[in-house]
């Protein structure tokens, strides 16, 4: 069974990508994922806040040193091009330890101050950069257009720093996801990752406090991403990466049928361990054999919305059909 695929120009042995998780925090963890068979690994994110903290620390050291020894200024590197050393060390050692692409990840929201660290990632061996733009404007005075422009500006700033491909991890909260996808595609995004899952705080009524929790995804959450991948297939040149709700081989197959170039998973690997990657891949190969497919291109995008179709009418028709089917059920729509 032929599972090789292309993602942003990277040749992968299969479409399964281990996305950012604690499993990627060590070289041994990355190696275990590669040994389990994944086609690529996305390291955990280097956060804008970490970079700001590092820059402030460097500034304090420089200021303290210059008060006693002016020549000590020459001992400190400039902040541009350097990120927290542990992350870059991990990236460099992980890239050297495995024979699959290791993708660096940058997480931020402001237009400047962190994007230039993409060059340091590239220099440390990152095969690509994933931009996790975690920007949900809480200020009601910020317009939707301003939020969109920020995403484009961040992409352009990173493009100016690196030559490796760049993936943009999108959230599903734009007023027009399709237009945003097309604009990012035109701006040079190598891939679009659909969708980012924000970790929202909650309220504890007993402690009367705000609590932060991390919840793993489940297959029910995959419908939104699958819908948009099916709509965008053939309408953008950028690669399409699916993420969220991948638990079993059937979830991988369904994303590929919708038109995904690669399928990312985190929660399932955390639940079952890195070896679950082999379960997903073997199950995909078995499904392909059962359906008579020998290559991914035999069925990838088979259930995508045809490019000449009115996508809005298509989505509306699906919505109406789903309601009719639910109401026809003896148990009602619920």
Q: What domains can you pick out in the chain, each with its CATH number?
A: 5-303 (3.20.20.70), 310-334 (no CATH)
Q: Which two tokens stand for residue 121?
A: 């990632």
List of the chain residues with pLDDT < 50: 59, 62, 71-83, 319-320, 322-323
Residue pointed to by tokens 């491909």 = 165
167, 192 contact by CB (below 8 A): yes
Instruction: Give the model's pLDDT for residue 84.
Output: 78
Instruction: Give the model's pLDDT for residue 219.
Output: 87
Residues 304-318: tens digit of each pLDDT: 998 766 656 655 555
Q: Which two tokens stand for residue 325?
A: 């089917």
Q: At what angle do helices 27-36 and 85-97 cross, to 10 degrees?
A: 30
SS3 at position 227: helix
Question: Based on the number of CB atoms within 10 Å of its own CB, is 248 exposed (0-12), middle (13-18) or buried (19 or more)?
Answer: middle
pTM tops 0.95, yes or no: no
152, 183 contact by CB (below 8 A): yes
Our measurement of the distance from residue 135's CA atom to the centroid of its chain's CA atoms, rounded to an integer in Å, reads 14
SS3 at position 131: strand
Q: In whole angstroms, what is the distance from residue 196 CA to residue 265 CA? A: 12
DSSP-derived secondary structure letter, 127: S
Instruction: Give the model's pLDDT for residue 320.
Output: 45
Strand intervals (E) in 5-136: 5-7, 10-12, 16-18, 40-47, 102-108, 128-133
Residues 242-290: tens digit of each pLDDT: 999 999 999 999 999 999 999 999 999 999 999 999 999 999 999 999 9
Q: In whole angstroms, what is the distance from residue 222 CA to residue 194 CA? A: 10
Instruction: Give the model's pLDDT for residue 55.
Output: 55
């Amino acid at each position: 069974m032929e599972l090789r695929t292309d993602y942003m120009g990277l040749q992968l042995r299969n479409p399964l990508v281990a996305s950012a998780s604690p499993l990627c925090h060590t070289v041994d963890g990355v190696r275990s994922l590669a040994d389990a068979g994944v086609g690529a690994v996305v390291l955990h994110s280097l956060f804008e806040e970490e970079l700001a903290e590092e820059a402030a620390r460097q500034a304090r050291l420089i200021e303290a040193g210059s008060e006693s020894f002016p020549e000590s200024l020459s001992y400190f590197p400039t902040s541009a091009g350097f990120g927290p050393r542990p992350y870059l060390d991990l990236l460099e050692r992980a890239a050297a330890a495995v024979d699959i692409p290791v993708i660096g990840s940058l997480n931020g929201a402001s237009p400047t101050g962190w994007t230039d660290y993409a060059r340091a990632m590239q220099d440390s061996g990152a095969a690509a950069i994933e931009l996790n733009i975690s920007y949900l404007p809480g200020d009601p005075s910020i317009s939707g257009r301003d939020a969109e422009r920020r995403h484009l500006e961040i992409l352009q700033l990173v493009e100016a720093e690196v030559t490796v491909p760049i993936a943009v991890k999108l959230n599903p909260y734009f007023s027009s996801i399709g237009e945003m996808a097309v604009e990012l595609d035109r701006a040079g995004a190598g891939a679009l990752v659909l969708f980012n899952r924000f970790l929202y705080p909650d309220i504890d009524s007993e402690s009367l406090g705000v609590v932060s929790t991390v919840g793993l995804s489940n297959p029910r959450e995959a419908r939104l991403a699958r819908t948009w991948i099916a709509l965008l297939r053939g309408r953008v040149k950028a690669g399409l990466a699916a993420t969220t709700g991948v638990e079993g081989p059937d979830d991988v197959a369904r994303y590929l049928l919708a038109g995904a170039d690669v399928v990312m998973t985190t929660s399932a690997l955390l639940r079952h361990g890195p070896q679950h990657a082999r379960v997903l891949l073997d199950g995909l190969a078995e499904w392909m054999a059962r359906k008579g497919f020998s290559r991914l291109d035999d069925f990838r995008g088979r259930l995508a919305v045809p490019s000449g179709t009115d996508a809005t009418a298509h989505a509306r028709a699906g919505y109406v059909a789903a309601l009719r089917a639910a109401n026809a059920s003896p148990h009602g729509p619920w």
